């Protein structure tokens, strides 16, 4: 466990956290290992935990009608699956696979709820909120871009013939962004 504490102390989010608080965190959420190629989460499975990547690299992908698309590449200090902590009875929106041997802390609602005033968990919560804010901002920017790129479709006049091809609506473009999951 001392080695885990040392590994955690090298992560930026724990830079100001005392070693004793990191040791407590390791007792509350012991790190778990994933071999390269191992499936960590599967799209469509029940979601009730998130992972803090301590070492290694995880890739998130979504399966759609056009095949698999990589949507995330998480490395040490990043959180994966955080929506599960805030939305009950959710299903995984993506599959996650270990791209290389990885070590992660399992974060669940009980850990966050029962952690008391452990400075390591306070740092983790702050990091978690920052990560979610960045992802929401990125989604908003993608949606704004789609909105700007969409052109209003004028209704045909009685004299004009309808177009031969159907115009792609903003809703269809957004659904494409989320691989049809709207």
Backbone angles phi, psi at 86, to 5 degrees: -115, -15
How many other C-beta atoms can be found within 10 angstroms of the C-beta atom of residue 62? 19
pLDDT tens track, the chain, 182 positions: 558 888 999 999 999 999 999 999 988 888 899 999 999 999 999 999 999 999 999 999 998 888 889 988 999 999 999 888 888 888 999 999 999 999 999 999 889 887 778 999 999 988 988 888 888 888 888 888 878 777 565 555 656 555 555 556 666 666 666 555 44
**pLDDT of amino acid 158:** 57
Contact 34, 40 (CB under 8 A): yes
Which residues in the chain belong to E strands, given as ranges? 31-34, 39-41, 46-47, 49-55, 57-64, 67-75, 79-80, 90-91, 95-98, 102-108
How far apart are the C-alpha atoms of 69 and 169, rounded to whole Å? 22
- CA 101 to CA 95: how far, in whole Å? 17
The token duo for 62 is: 């979504």
- Of 29, 17, 9, 46, nearest to 117 by C-alpha is 17
Enumerate the β-bridge partners of residue 91. 46
pTM, full prediction: 0.74
Domains and CATH numbers, the chain: 2-148 (2.60.120.10)
What pLDDT is stored for residue 83 in this prediction? 86
Quick one: which H or E segment has residue 59?
A: strand 57-64
Strands 95-98 and 39-41, by their bridges, are: antiparallel
State both tokens at 165: 């091809």
């Amino acid at each position: 466990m001392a080695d885990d504490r040392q590994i955690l102390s090298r992560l930026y989010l724990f830079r100001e956290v005392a070693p004793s608080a990191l040791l407590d965190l390791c007792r509350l959420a012991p790190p778990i290992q994933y071999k390269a190629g191992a499936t960590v989460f599967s799209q469509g499975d029940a979601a009730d935990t998130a992972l803090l990547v301590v070492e290694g690299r995880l890739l998130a992908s979504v399966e759609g009608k056009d095949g698999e698309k990589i949507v995330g590449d998480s490395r040490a200090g990043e959180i994966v699956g955080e929506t599960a902590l805030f939305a009950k009875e959710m299903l995984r929106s993506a599959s996650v696979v270990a791209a290389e041997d990885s070590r992660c802390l399992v974060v669940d609602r009980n850990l966050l709820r029962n952690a008391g005033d452990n400075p390591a968990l306070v740092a983790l919560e702050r990091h978690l909120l920052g990560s979610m804010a960045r992802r929401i901002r990125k989604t908003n920017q993608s949606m704004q871009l789609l909105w700007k790129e969409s052109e209003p479709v004028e209704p045909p006049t009685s004299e004009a013939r309808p177009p031969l091809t159907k115009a792609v609506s903003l809703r269809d473009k957004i659904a494409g962004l989320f691989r049809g999951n709207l």
